[in-house]
Amino acid sequence: MAECCRALRVSLSGCYAWQERPASARATRDQQLRVQVGASHAASRGRYGRPRVWKDLSEAGERVSPKRVGRLLREEGLRARARKRFRSTTMSEHDQGCTYASED
């Protein structure tokens, strides 16, 4: 521990004081929000990103900024899964006639 303090140029007593210090109010609130952000993201099966997760939290009565929600999502490594692009596989402008029509 003393070697680390010397390398970082901080006092040993300051290092121990830092270790014993309780988490700040912001860090505590971030931890609470991480749980809610993760729950909202999981409830959407990973589809919701920052705007929708923020809207979910706002509707639940949480006062939090969209930027904070985005930061928490990034720190947790959560990203919205993009919707697959629609791809048409049917060629509707072909020159073949209808072969299944009844021939009377």
| Residue 32 burial (10 A CB sphere; 0-12, 13-18, 19+) | exposed
Q: What is the band of 59 on the pLDDT scale with cuts at 50, 70, 90?
A: very high
Q: Is 75 contained in some domain? A: yes
Number of structural domains (the chain) is: 1
Q: What is the band of 88 on the pLDDT scale with cuts at 50, 70, 90?
A: confident
**For residue 34, what are the domain limits?**
24-80
Left, alpha or beta for 47 (phi > 0: left; psi -120 to 50: alpha)? alpha
Q: Is 61 contained in some domain? A: yes
Q: Is 100 contained in some domain? A: no
At residue 18, the pLDDT reads: 86
> pTM here?
0.68
At residue 99, the pLDDT reads: 61
Q: Is 56 contained in some domain? A: yes
